Chains A and B, each alone.
Chain A
Amino acid sequence: MNLHAIRAIYAFEMARTWRTLFQSIVSPVISTSLYFVVFGAAIGSRIQEVDGVSYGAFIVPGLIMLSLLTQSLSNASFGIFFPRFTGTIFEVLSAPASYFEIVVGYVGAAATKAMLVGVIILVTANLFVDMRIEHPLWMVLFFVLTAVTFSLFGFIIGIWAKNFEQLQFVPLLIVTPLTFLGGSFYSIRMLPEFWQTVTLFNPVVYLVSGFRWSFYGQADVGVGLSLAMTLVFLAASLGVVAWIFKTGYRLKS
């Protein structure tokens, strides 16, 4: 095991975070706070409670999930796309490091950053609303699994993308809508029945639902199903990453 290589990649990526502190941490926190103000204050004044939880508190897990997803995706995809774009990836590819070590370095750093943002949002939200976390271990489990899974997914996008447009494409046109439609800001039980069924095809529903359950003990879908779906995404992402390295897809000619 080349631990030095993992540490080098991880530290390098984290250094990028500190160097671009505003962009990587402050700006997601600001934009999430805006969501919080807009949804919490504007809509919250109309919707008093959802499932016995004040609307402001209700949306916190969804907000954290939203930023966890987008942060994981953008950190990881950019982290690997940029060295491909500039060509500096040659050094990583010719180093005595296994694919596993390379992925752990990049994905680990991306997930760490995303979780950092998530924690900051959690703490910030705590200042605005009364919250509780009923199942802290489950909460941590969903938190970490989601960050890792979507960082892996971001890694895949960063390798697949041929240009900056494609890099933005999946997060912007697929993941963000899915997140908004995935019950981040509402319970899917508030939807007409037909749309409830449609929503069940949205993978984000399971993440948000499970995560929210760990806070308030209430969920749109069973927590076991949520966990199972999360693990399925994780396995799928791992499978694709393994395939990428096995074939050298877009990394080696």
Chain B
Amino acid sequence: MPPALQIEQLSKTYESGFKALNSVNLTIERGELFALLGPNGAGKTTLISVICGLVRASAGTVRVHGHHWTEEYRTARRLIGLVPQELTTESFETVSATVNFSRGLYGLPKDPARIEQILKDLSLWEKRDSRIMTLSGGMKRRVLIAKALAHEPKVLFLDEPTAGVDVELRRDMWDVVRRLKASGVTIILTTHYIEEAEEMADRVGVITKGEIILVEEKNALMRKLGRKQLVLQLVEPLARLPESLAGYDLTLAAAGDELTYTYDSQGERTGITALMSELREAGIHFRDLQTRQDSLEKIFVNLVRQSQ
């Protein structure tokens, strides 16, 4: 079974001469939730736009469920749903009219029951006869999602779906995403809220300056790149670190009562045992200890910084 998405050597140079995508290779398996992370201007939207046929590729190919994205555009596009980053909705149309329009555009006959289900899932059913311009921004966002789901896509792109959305709506949205994922839909998501990716994604890709610099299973990424910290609460506050501990990556909290040791959990040896004996020799005692792991956010920031 061909993968949901197979991107090969995809490049895009805009007319201005700006190279927004540089030979991107990426394979996304069916049913996975893939989070694409990257700073502003990294090329996330460009990548999605090229796949969806909104921007022409300068080079490379995309296959959707094995179908070439321009030669077999009808089959390929029929599989794709897109929720764009910008809030681009009609104004004067009603919610149900615009969602029905989307379904027709994708070549499907009317299916009121299906549309009703989609609108209900997104808490839009009450608003079905409202004109879109009378809705709030968050509601418009829901309308865009409903439109993208109207033709029952198998591969869904969510380009920053939770930008400017309140907590409740975000939770709703993630419920919908979870349900879609459970029904086998492949989801590609870009977001600046990294905790979302951390919570939801199966795999994470990081893009900067048009290049994918990393693709990794989320859990493995967190293990591999996440540095760990050991935090020690001291019995007696220290004025400064003793000389004997200079070789360790230690920081002393301002109050002098907390010592933080940062180490690489994947490293050959973590250095914890040695540190403990050094501490004992220096006469430093601690009341309590805990370990912390880097969040995906921190990993991400480090990665992007390194690549620059």
B55 and A94 contacting across the interface, CB-CB below 8 Å: no
| Interface residues in A79-112 (C-beta closer than 8 Å to B) | 86-88, 90-98
A253 and B86 contacting across the interface, CB-CB below 8 Å: no
Residue of chain A at shortest CB distance from B48: A94
CA distance A4 to B86 in the complex (A): 26
Residue of chain A at shortest CB distance from B78: A96
Contacts of A94 in B (CB 8 A): 52-54, 77, 80, 82
Interface size class of B (residues with CB under 8 A): 35 or more
A4 and B56 contacting across the interface, CB-CB below 8 Å: no
Contact of B107 among A2, A16, A19, A93 (CB under 8 A): A2
In whole Å, how far is B78's beta carbon from the nearest beta carbon of chain A?
Answer: 5
* CB-CB under 8 A for A96 and B88, given A252-B55, A253-B15: no
CA distance A95 to B78 in the complex (A): 7
B92 and A91 contacting across the interface, CB-CB below 8 Å: no
A96 and B107 contacting across the interface, CB-CB below 8 Å: yes
A88 and B90 contacting across the interface, CB-CB below 8 Å: yes
Residue of chain B at shortest CB distance from A1: B107
B80 and A8 contacting across the interface, CB-CB below 8 Å: no
Residue of chain B at shortest CB distance from A89: B88
CA distance A86 to B78 in the complex (A): 24
B88 and A88 contacting across the interface, CB-CB below 8 Å: yes
Identify which of A5, A96, A248 gathers the most chain B CB atoms within 10 Å of its CB.
A96
Residue of chain B at shortest CB distance from A87: B88
A253 and B14 contacting across the interface, CB-CB below 8 Å: yes
* CB-CB under 8 A for A90 and B84, given A15-B93, A95-B77, A248-B56: yes
Is A156's beta carbon under 8 Å from chain B? no
Contacts of B104 in A (CB 8 A): 4-5, 7-8, 11
* CB-CB under 8 A for A4 and B88, given A12-B101, A91-B147, A94-B54: no
CA distance A3 to B107 in the complex (A): 7
Is A125's beta carbon under 8 Å from chain B? no
Is A9's beta carbon under 8 Å from chain B? yes
* CB-CB under 8 A for A252 and B54, given A12-B101, A88-B90, A94-B77: yes
Is B102's beta carbon under 8 Å from chain A? yes
Contacts of B108 in A (CB 8 A): 4
CA distance A86 to B132 in the complex (A): 13
Contacts of A92 in B (CB 8 A): 105
Contacts of A4 in B (CB 8 A): 104-109
A86 and B97 contacting across the interface, CB-CB below 8 Å: no
| Interface residues in B56-93 (C-beta closer than 8 Å to A) | 56, 73-78, 80, 82, 84, 86, 88-93
In whole Å, how far is B131's beta carbon from the nearest beta carbon of chain A?
Answer: 10
* CB-CB under 8 A for A86 and B88, given A8-B101, A8-B104: yes
Contacts of B77 in A (CB 8 A): 94-96
* CB-CB under 8 A for A86 and B74, given A8-B101, A8-B104, A96-B107: no
CA distance A12 to B14 in the complex (A): 32
CA distance A92 to B84 in the complex (A): 13
A93 and B53 contacting across the interface, CB-CB below 8 Å: yes
Residue of chain A at shortest CB distance from B100: A8
B15 and A96 contacting across the interface, CB-CB below 8 Å: no
CA distance A95 to B76 in the complex (A): 10
Residue of chain A at shortest CB distance from B131: A19
Residue of chain A at shortest CB distance from B90: A88
What is B's interface to A at a CB cutoff of 8 Å? Answer: 14-15, 52-56, 73-78, 80, 82, 84, 86, 88-93, 97, 100-109, 147
What is A's interface to B at a CB cutoff of 8 Å? Answer: 2-5, 7-9, 11-12, 15-16, 19, 86-88, 90-98, 248, 252-253
Q: Could you show 26 A-B contacts with beta carbons less than 8 Å apart?
A: A4-B106, A5-B105, A5-B107, A8-B100, A8-B105, A12-B97, A16-B92, A19-B92, A86-B89, A86-B90, A86-B91, A87-B86, A90-B52, A90-B84, A91-B105, A92-B105, A93-B54, A94-B52, A94-B77, A95-B107, A96-B76, A96-B106, A248-B56, A252-B55, A253-B55, A253-B56
- Extra contacts, 15 of them, besides A8-B101, A8-B104 (Cβ < 8 A), are A4-B106, A8-B103, A9-B105, A12-B101, A87-B88, A88-B88, A88-B90, A91-B105, A91-B147, A95-B105, A95-B107, A97-B107, A248-B56, A253-B14, A253-B56
